[in-house]
Amino acid sequence: MEPKNEPASPDPPVIGPDGLNRALLDSALDCIITMDASGSVTEFNAAAQHVFGYSREEAVGQELASLIIPPAFRERHRQGLRHYLETGEGPVLGRRIEITGVRSDGSEILVELAITVLQVQGKPAFTAYLRDITDRKRGEEAIRRLAAIIESSDDAIISKDLSGIITSWNAAAERLFGYTPEEIIGQPLITLIPPERRDEEPRILERIQRGEPIEHYDTVRRRKDGSLLDISVTVSPVKDQNGQIIGASKIARDITERVRNERRRTAQYAVASLLAGSWSLAEAGPRIIESIAAIGDWVSGSIWLRDKAEESLSCAGTWHQDRPGLADFAETTHATLLTKGHGLPGRVLVSRKPAWIRDVSHDTNFPRTAAAAAANLKGAFAFPLSAEGDVNGVLELFSPEIVEPDNDLLSLVEALGSQIGLFIHRRQMDEELKRQKEAAESANAAKDRFLATLSHELRTPLTPILIWAGGMVNDPSLPPEIDEGLQMICRNVELEARLIDDLLDLTRIARGKLQLHLRKSDAHDLLGHAMEIVRDEISSRQLKLSMELNASNPIVLADESRLQQVFWNLLNNASKFTPGQGAVTVRTSNPQPHALWIEISDTGIGIEPQHLEKIFDAFEQSGTRREGLGLGLAISKAIVEMHRGSIRAFSDGPGKGTKFVIDLQTAA
C-alpha cells in the first residue's frame, strides 16, 4: 500500500516590525501593560486581556488607575505618578511587588508586578509586567493552614516512606513520644515499637503498599524514656501527583486514659464478682490480686493478713506472672512474718493508707530486697484492707518498672480495700462460727456418750432389786409393814427405772440408734393397752375418762411397744396435769381415707401459748418444774416422726385444758 502524503505544515505568518512587536507582546505569558506620562494605557497585551477581562480596544486610552487598580488604591497610584514626574523618584520602579488588581467584573486578584520606565522622545513611558498569583497564593495559604493544623493537632501526625523511615513529625508526636523532630526524622519507625510488637510494622507497610488505609487500630508504642503508651492509630497511604504510593501518614491518639479507665472498670467488676461468690479467701485471694494487677504493669502481688493478738502480718496468698525469679520471690514472701511498721505491708498497717516504693532494691525498710532484686522487681504498691474501721490485711503489688500511683488509682484502691476487707472479715467470722459449731457438736456428742454410759450404769443395779423385791411382794409370810415397805421399794425403783429408760431412749434417738420393729398394728388396741396402765391412776383422781374411737380404719404400720409408749405418755400427762373431777377424752377418726387422727384432750391446767412448741424439746417443762425430766414429749415426738407422723399440742391457755393430736398414715 502506498503511504499517504504527510500534510504540509502551515508556513509561519509573514509579519512586519510592528506586527513582530505585537506578536511578541501577545505571546508573552505575563500581562504587559504600558502607560504614558498622563497615566493612560498605551498597550494591553493578550495575557492582560485574559487576566483583567478587557479587550485591547477597551483598555487602550483609559486611565490605568481607574481601569485595573481597586478604588481604594487609585489615588495613591496617581500621587506616585505625579511624584515621579516632578522628582524622578519612583520607589516601586524596578522592584517586584505584590498588589491587588481589579478585573472588569469587579473581582479582585492578587498580582505580582514589576514596573520599568523608559524615556521615549523625552517623555517617560512605563511598562508594567504583571502576573496573576491568586492561585499560587491560595495554594501557599492552604499549605500554611494545613501545616498549622498539623502542628496544633493534639494527635501525633507522622509520615513515613515506604521503607518505614520517618519523614515528618509534628509537635504532638514530640509531646507523645518524647523525641524532637531532629532526633527522629530519618530514623526507622520501628524505633517507636516495643520489641514484642515489631511484627506489626511489616504487615502495616504491606497493606499501605496495596493502598489500603488502616483505621482505629489500638496498639502499644514506646516512648523515648522506654515507658509504654496505649495509642489508637489510623494509617493512610500518601500518593504523589501521579497517584503513586510513596509512603504513609499516621495519626496516633493517646488512649492511655481510656485504656486505663477500661482496665480499672474491668478490675472492679472482676473483684466485685469474686467477692460476691462463695469462694474462700484462699481460693479468691490469688484471683483478686491478679484482677487488680491487670490495672497496671504489675507482675506479682500478695495478700497479708493481720494477726490481731500478735500484731503481726503473714502472707495469706500470692499471685505472680510466669517470669524468672517471681516464684522464688513468692516463696520468700510466704516465709516472711512482718510486725507493725516492718516492711511495706507493716508500714501500711501503721499508716492505714496506701504506700509505694519507687525501687525496692534501694529501700532500707524492705526485708525481701534480695529476692526482689533477683526477680528484677522495682516498683511496689500496697494498700490497706479494712472492715469496721480496722485494718485486717494489706494487698501489695510489684512491677519491674518504677511506678507512681495517680489519684484515680488511690481512690480506686480505697474502695477495693474496704470491699476486700469486708470479705476477709466475713470469711473470718464464718470460720470462727464453724469452729464454734464444731466445738459445740463435739461437746454434744461427748454429752450423749456420757448420758448413754451413765444411764446404762444406773439402770443395771436396779434390775436385781426389782426382781428380788417384786418376787417378795404379797408373800403372806411377811408381816404387813414389811410388805408395804417392799411395795414402796418396787414403786420407786420402777419410777427410777422409767426415768433412766427415758434418758436411754433420748440418747439413742440423739445418736440415731433407736430402732423400730414395724408391723401392721391396730392403734385402738394400743390405746386400750396404754389406758389399762393409767386406769388406776385416773380413777384414783376421780377423772372422767371418755373413749370415742370412731376411726373405721385404725390399722397402722407401727412399732407397737413404742407407739404404746407414746399413747401412755400422753394419757399419763393428761391425768397428771388435770385436777380432780376433770375429764380426759380419747378420740380417733379417719379425716381422709389414709389418715388416722388420734386426739387426747383434757380439761386440765393448759399450756401458755409461748410454751406450746417448746414442750417437745428435751428437758423442757412449761411453767414451774414438776415431777419428771421433761423428756416424755421429746421422745414421743421423735417416735411419731419415725412413724412418718406428726404430733401437735393445742391449748387456749392456762386453765383451759390441753389437746394433743397425732397424725398417722393408715397401713394400706
For binding to ligand ADP (CB under 6 A), which residues are involved?
A: 569, 573-574, 577, 602, 604-605, 607, 615, 621-623, 626, 628-634, 658
Residue closer to ligand ADP (CB basis): 30 or 602: 602
- Closer of 19 and 654 to ligand ADP (Cβ): 654
Q: Provide the minimum distance between the beta carbon of 387 and ligand ADP in the complex, in angstroms, as a whole number.
A: 45
CB-nearer residue toward ligand ADP: 35 or 506: 506
Of residues 288 and 631, the one with the C-beta less far from ligand ADP: 631
Cα torsion 129, 134, 135, 140: sign: positive
Please report how close the Cβ of residue 550 comes to ligand ADP at its closest, in angstroms: 22
Query: DSSP label at 626?
Result: -
In the complex, least distance from residue 635 CB atom to ligand ADP, rounded to whole angstroms = 8
Instruction: Say which residues have a Cβ less than 8 Å from residue 513's Cβ, sequence separation at least 6.
Output: 507
Pairing of strands 583-589, 544-549: parallel
If the CB atoms of residues 126 and 568 are measured against ligand ADP, the closer one turns out to be 568
Looking at the Cβ atoms of 140 and 548, the one nearer to ligand ADP is: 548
> What's the distance, CA 376 to chain centroid?
30
* Nearest of 443, 441, 436, 491 to residue 465 by alpha carbon: 491
Q: How far is the CB of 484 from ligand ADP (least distance, A)?
A: 27
**CA atoms lying within 13 Å on the CB side of residue 298:** 27
Alpha-carbon distance of 399 to 443, in angstroms, equals 51
In whole angstroms, the minimum distance from the beta carbon of 279 to ligand ADP comes to 45
Question: Minimum CB separation from ligand ADP for residue 632, in Å?
Answer: 3
Q: Are strands 96-102 and 166-169 parallel, antiparallel or unpaired?
A: unpaired
Cβ at position 566, least distance to ligand ADP in Å: 10
Shortest approach of ligand ADP to residue 659 CB, angstroms? 8
| 266, HSE (Cβ side, Cα atoms, 13 Å) | 12
CA distances from residue 286 to 274, 283, 321 in whole angstroms, order as listed = 11, 7, 11
Q: Are 487 and 475 within 8 A, CB to CB?
A: no
CB of residue 525 vs ligand ADP: minimum separation in angstroms? Answer: 23
| Spatial separation of the C-alpha atoms in residues 634 and 614, rounded to whole Å | 9
Answer for the pair 648, 580: CB distance below 8 angstroms, yes or no.
no
Question: Quick one: 386 or 569, whose CB is closer to ligand ADP?
Answer: 569
The full length of the chain comes to: 668
Rounded Cα–Cα distance for residues 80 and 65 (Å): 11
The residue number with the shortest CB distance to ligand ADP is: 628
Least Cα distance to 319 among 229, 395, 218, 205 occurs for 395
List all residues 6 or more positions away from 298 whose beta carbon is below 8 Å from its beta carbon. 292, 381, 397, 398, 399
Bridge partners for 387 per DSSP? 390
Nearer of residues 658 and 666 to ligand ADP, judged by Cβ:
658
- Helix, strand, coil % in the chain, rounded to nearest 5: 45, 25, 30
Q: How far apart are CA 598 and CA 530, in angstroms?
A: 13
Each as own residue / partner, the long-range contacts of residues 356-365 (CB below 8 Å, 24 or more positions apart, any chain) are 356/380, 356/381, 356/382, 356/403, 356/404, 356/405, 357/381, 358/402, 358/403, 358/404, 359/402, 360/398
Q: Which is nearer to ligand ADP, 266 or 546 (CB)?
A: 546
CA distance 524 to 519: 15
Q: Which is nearer to ligand ADP, 329 or 577 (CB)?
A: 577
CB of 553 to ligand ADP, least distance (A): 27
Q: Which is nearer to ligand ADP, 260 or 614 (CB)?
A: 614
Q: Rounded to the nearest whole angstrom, what is the least distance from the CB of residue 574 to ligand ADP in the complex?
A: 5
- Smallest separation, CB 614 to ligand ADP (Å): 8
Taking the least distance from each CB to ligand ADP, the nearer of 360 and 618 is 618
